[in-house]
Chain A
Amino acid sequence: MALTETAPPEIEEPTTSEPYGMVRRAQPSGLERVLTTADHQTVGRLYVGFALAFLVIDLMVASLVNLQIASDGGVLDALVAARLDMNHLLGLALCGILPLALGLASVIVPKQIGSPTLSFARAAAWAQWTWLLSAILFGVAIVADGSYGGDNEAMARLGNVAVGAMLVALSVGVVCVAVTVLNLRPAGLGLADVPFFSFSMVVTASVWIMTLPSVLASVVRVHIVGPNTTDLATTGFAGVSWLLIQPAVYALLLPVLGIIIDSAVVAAGARLRYRGVFHGLIGVAALLAYGSWAQTDVARNTGVWVLFALAAVLPLLGILGGLGDMLRQERPSLISPLGFAVAALLVAVLAALTGAIAALDTGGSGSLVGFGAGSMARAQTYLVIGAAVIGLLGGCVLWAQQIFGQRLADGASKGLVLGAASGAILLGLPHLVLGLVQASDDGIDPRAFAGISAVGALLLALSVLGIAAGGASARRDAGRGDVLVADPWGTGTTLEWTDAVPNEITSPEPVLDAREAVS
């Protein structure tokens, strides 16, 4: 530019807060943020909150179903009772346990591996909203005389479609969590070094992604023929109900195994020896929980199925023994998460033993001893559900600060351990005893057994309600802006118990390393 040229006119700076006619976008409201966020903590909290609510409802329904038997059909209309009986176990699994595990994982897994986010964060958010919408539709379908066993054809189909949508959503959600563990670890933290809950979620994802689409195939198969209510109550229900029969039912327990081990580690505040053994035990448990091959009676009641059922006890006993040895040596703090962990593991072992006994009875075409097969199967499903619920509640208490914003009162939580453990045992054990007794007396009156089971379901529901209420209260109090320590237990060893990821990670317990370096 020549120096003799006239200087260009100066452009006036805009004086308004909206330059050049642009409209400044208002800050999103709280509701908009919740609806559109891909933040892993928000996504996880939504899962946890709604799953706890659905668990309470489904456990109350389980109580009603058993009360119906106890009262000889005097509580509900017979058709309503049959419909609730068919759907409440599916509700417990798909609306309660699986999403609660996914919610805990969505909040905790990124923190455990020092990642600020989940992999495919928007897919995770999509999965959470799809699951929530589908779970609500499933409930609406049941209430409106539909879903499996319902008489309203449109609502029955809606229930089937809702189950399919939940399966898709949960599959997508668990893949996001697993890829996070596989891919977003910081340098120095190998896959064998991640905390056990994160490791168990990778294993869980491998099993769920091979199982849930198999159930989906049954859902689609029934749906494409334009089914009537009878089709859905027979073929449709048979196609999805194998998810709640061994070995597939153990897939509900896989995330809980990681929570149990992490709870014991926090209680002990020490390094866990033989990490590889625990990894192997979780892996074996996952292998034995793969059940897509055992969808029909023809595939079950075979030698392989019996072997799977017998072997399922072993990894649980291995974890029990390993943790027992560590706790014996380390003199742990008797914190409530440890109580939840021990209770969950013992109930899980009882469930596996129940399955093993039931499987042995298949010898001689089901007449080796002659146990009540239906009662035994119901007992095992209830015990697995009970163990899973206790373990997941333990996870909510252990990581309450990360999930709800504040630690829950430990004394009250210890009370809930007792409530949940006794609830789970009362829920499943009467059916086990009934099944065993039926070997000698086929005509025994089941009413007393069902009555005790109803009380167990109610106790378990109240325990879930207690955690949900405590969590809601903690979430409200967390808004006061109190300064919180990162590790309320004071004995955490892994990355979720610190605010800052260390520059150099040299062991599976980086927080313990830092604590030892200071002391």
Chain B
Amino acid sequence: MSIIAPTVPAPILPRRRQLLFGATFASAGFGAFILTAVGMYLQARAPIESTWLSEHAIPLTQPNVQLGTLIMSLFTVQWAAYSIKRDDRGHAFLALAITLLFGLAFLNQTWFLFTQIGLPMATVEGPLFYLVVGGHLVMVGVAIVFLALMTVRAIGGNFSSSYPDGLSAAALFWHAMVAMYTVVWLTVYIMK
């Protein structure tokens, strides 16, 4: 039996899709930044391809593990969005926690990669490498903060099957971030 009288009007929910549109534009903006940076990287590398990064080899293990981490996070972040749309809050929180853990692990792996490469800024490759990888790292940071904020709001009861937008928007931005990493992975780490 409901304890709410039937005459009480339903609460006014925030407008749907606002965060989704915002996340779409933000993804496009970050995408434009990273793709431009990748373009600069490839343009600078083309004339000196044979000597590019010859003194600072990039090991392939870390980037591959990073890609694997992010691919797994794709499933978990979508799991969170799926669960909240079905009011399965337990699964949603579990998926969010795992996704955030993957994100933090990615940051840790990137930091480790930087120390392994030891590429100084005062080289031809340095500024461009850090522009591309650093630009993506900022996107990862924003994605983690965005998802963490939405997690806190979800814990506070903000999202449900009738208003899942916050988590859907965070998931959308997360997917865009992973898509950008595949570009970085291919152009910087694989096509060396």
Contact = CB atoms under 8 A, between A and B. Distances in A.
Interface of A: 119-120, 171, 175, 178-179, 182-184, 205-206, 209-214, 216-218, 220-221, 224-226, 292, 295-296
Main secondary structure of the interface of B (DSSP, over half): helix
A228 B13 CA distance: 53
B121 A224 contact: yes
B36 A175 contact: no
A205 B130 CA distance: 28
Nearest to B41: A221
Contact of A213 (B17, B21, B36, B134): B36
A217 B18 contact: no
A214 B131 contact: no
Given A183-B18, A212-B29, A214-B35, 11 more contacts: A119-B21, A175-B29, A179-B22, A182-B17, A211-B32, A217-B32, A217-B131, A221-B131, A224-B127, A224-B134, A295-B36
Q: Which 8 pairs from chain A and chain B are nearest by CB?
A: A213-B33, A217-B36, A214-B36, A213-B32, A175-B25, A179-B21, A213-B29, A183-B18
Interface size class of B (residues with CB under 8 A): 20 to 34
A211 B31 CA distance: 11
Interface string B1-44: 00000000000000101100110011011101111110010010
A457 B140 CA distance: 45
A364 B127 CA distance: 36
B32 A210 contact: yes
A255 to B, nearest CB: 16
B135 interface: yes
Contact of A220 (B15, B25, B26, B131): B131
Please classify the interface of chain A as helix (H, G, I), strand (E, B), loop, or mixed, using the class held by over half of its residues. Answer: helix
Nearest to B27: A209
B17 A214 contact: no
A171 B21 contact: no
Given A175-B22, A183-B15, A213-B30, A225 B121 contact: yes
B128 interface: yes
15 contacts: A120-B18, A171-B29, A175-B25, A179-B22, A179-B25, A182-B21, A183-B18, A206-B28, A214-B32, A216-B33, A217-B32, A217-B33, A218-B40, A221-B127, A224-B121
Nearest to B30: A213
Given A184-B15, A213-B33, A221-B131, A175 B40 contact: no
Contacts of B37: 217, 221
Contacts of B25: 175, 178-179, 205, 209
A224 B17 CA distance: 37
Nearest to A123: B22
Nearest to B22: A179
- Max chain A Cβ within 10 angstroms of own Cβ: one of B37, B128, B130, B134: B37
A211 B25 CA distance: 12
Nearest to B40: A221
Contacts of B134: 224
* Interface-central residue, B25, B34, B35, B127, by most chain A CB under 10 Å: B25
Nearest to A179: B21
Contact of A292 (B17, B32, B126, B128): B32
Contacts of A292: 32, 36
Nearest to A181: B21
Most chain B CB within 10 A, of A212, A220, A296, is at A220
A214 B28 CA distance: 11
B33 A214 contact: yes
B127 A218 contact: no
Contact of A209 (B28, B35, B130, B131): B28
A317 B22 CA distance: 33
A247 to B, nearest CB: 15
**Most chain A beta-carbon contacts within 10 A, residue among B17, B29, B135:** B29
Given A119-B22, A225-B127, A209 B29 contact: yes
Given A183-B21, A184-B15, A225-B127, A175 B30 contact: no
A409 B35 CA distance: 49
Nearest to B127: A225
Residue among A184, A221, A296 facing the most chain B CB atoms (10 A cut-off): A221
Nearest to A184: B15
Nearest to A185: B15
Nearest to A226: B121
Contacts of B28: 206, 209-210
Contact of A218 (B26, B36, B121): B36
Given A184-B15, A221-B127, A221-B128, A175 B32 contact: no
Interface in B74-126: 121-122, 126
A183 B122 CA distance: 47
Nearest to A227: B127
Interface in B33-81: 33-37, 40, 43
Contacts of B18: 119-120, 179, 183-184
A213 B35 CA distance: 10
B169 to A, nearest CB: 11
Contacts of A214: 32-33, 35-36
A54 B30 CA distance: 29
Nearest to A225: B127
B46 to A, nearest CB: 10
Contacts of B32: 209-214, 217, 292
B33 A183 contact: no
A220 B33 CA distance: 10
Given A179-B21, A183-B17, A224-B121, A217 B29 contact: no
A223 to B, nearest CB: 9
Contacts of A183: 15, 17-18, 21
Nearest to A175: B25
